Amino acid sequence: MCEAHNQSFELNHTSDNQMITHTVQKPHVCEVCNKSFSQKGSLLKHMLIHTGEKPHVCEVCNLSFRQKGDLTRHMLIHTGEKPHVCELCNKSFRRKSNLKTHVLFHTRQKLNVGEVHNNSFTQKRYIIRRMPRHLGKEPYVCEVCNKSFTYKGNLNVHMLIHTGEKLHVCKVCNKSFTQKPALNNHMFLHTGEKPHVCEVCNKSFRMKSDLNRHMLFHTGEKPFVCEVCNKSYRQKWELNLHMLIHTGEKPYVCEVCNKSFRPKWELNAHMRVHTGDKPYVCEICNRSFLHKGYLKEHMFIHTGEKPYQCEVCKKSFRQSATLRRHLRIHTGKKPHLCEVCQKSFARKDILNKHMRMHAGDKL
């Protein structure tokens, strides 16, 4: 019995140590959603979600936050400070969570427990807590593709890829999934529920992973870095696509004209040139387009919107391409070069007219 608080303790025995869990009372209840808190300060912070208030404002860019800790983390973008340093490789990070994720990469590099114990770094206890019992050993091997796993449960889930078995079935549309979490995420499509909400801009998402990716826009973080040129990206697929520039690889080839592309979506879009398919249709005038982006810019004709503004003279345009052409007036850039006389032009159509002059000279 706790004499200070007159409350009981629960004793949990584990293989490493004893965990004592205090059964804490939560007397402070939110009148809006009935969520309860042990401290009044926590309730007051929670209430900002319902009021929409964001009292902590960045003095540099005026972005506002509900919690002071979020503002403190945000300020690191402006200062460039990365206070969380990996003591294994000295790589630094703005957020502690990113450091923890990074540290796990070291554990995957076949470190053994002895090596970890010989290193005196602050994350040692974190790593040991996260380490599998057989670090460096993955005793469960897939007989089909030889991929190895630390835990048998992970192997069992992996085997579903080879068997094609999908045990978890949606009762609404009968779509099936190999894993229960994938089914749970799928169900949000039917319910319309988006439970994961961004605390910065209130945008909501079906999946936590989507929210995590979205948060990178607010933090400015780009955790995926190219080892060749140090260019960084928010998402892994963007880095993978970028790497094809260095390798020169264009793996997706058109079977009609043999033109090759780096990303698959470019090949898919290109195929519409051959098929004549224009799947994106304007609901107002029924005009159809090859690409969704073309339809989006076309819609500005109907709305009258001109969202692309020149920062030099403030003139605005419906299409981004028109803005890019306009900017050449200010920059003096003339990227379209005549191969006959080396004269350059700001616009492709003017070059085409000029080329007719050379064609006339040959007649």
Q: Structural domain boundaries of the chain?
A: 40-100, 336-362
* Architecture label for domain 40-100: 2-Layer Sandwich (3.30)
pLDDT tens digit sequence for 9-55: 444 444 444 433 445 688 888 887 788 888 888 888 788 777 777 78
Q: Is beta strand 84-85 parallel, antiparallel or unpaired with respect to 92-93?
A: antiparallel
Question: Which of these, 363, 330, 340, 270, lies nearest to 352 by C-alpha position?
Answer: 340
**CA 179, CA 186: separation in Å to the nearest integer?**
11
pLDDT given for residue 136 in this prediction: 44
Question: Region 304-313: what's the mean pLDDT?
Answer: 88
Q: Which residues of 24-40 are buried (b: 16+ CB within 10 A; e: fewer)?
A: eeeebeeeeeeeebeee
- Of the ranges 53-57, 214-218, 256-260, which is most confident? 256-260
Question: Does 194 or 161 have the greater pLDDT score?
Answer: 194
pTM over cut 0.85 = no
Question: Region 64-88: what's the mean pLDDT?
Answer: 79
Poorest-confidence range of 125-134, 280-289, 330-339? 125-134
- Of the ranges 39-43, 69-73, 101-105, 314-318, which is most confident? 314-318
pLDDT given for residue 7 in this prediction: 42
Poorest-confidence range of 20-29, 76-85, 114-123, 153-162? 114-123
Question: Which of these, 315, 339, 341, 318, lies nearest to 329 by C-alpha position?
Answer: 315
Q: Residue 1 — very low, low, confident or very high, per pLDDT cuts 50/70/90? A: very low
pLDDT given for residue 87 in this prediction: 83
Asked whether residue 91 carries a pLDDT value surpassing 60, the answer given is yes
| DSSP code, position 172 | T
Tell me the average pLDDT of the chain.
Answer: 76
pLDDT tens digit sequence for 131-184: 444 444 556 777 777 777 777 777 877 777 777 666 778 888 888 887 778 888
Q: What is the rounded end-to-end Cα distance, in angstroms, of the chain?
A: 105
Asked whether residue 350 carries a pLDDT value surpassing 50, the answer given is yes
pLDDT tens digit sequence for 222-239: 888 888 888 888 888 888
pLDDT given for residue 285 in this prediction: 92
Q: Is beta strand 336-337 parallel, antiparallel or unpaired with respect to 92-93?
A: unpaired
pLDDT given for residue 106 in this prediction: 65
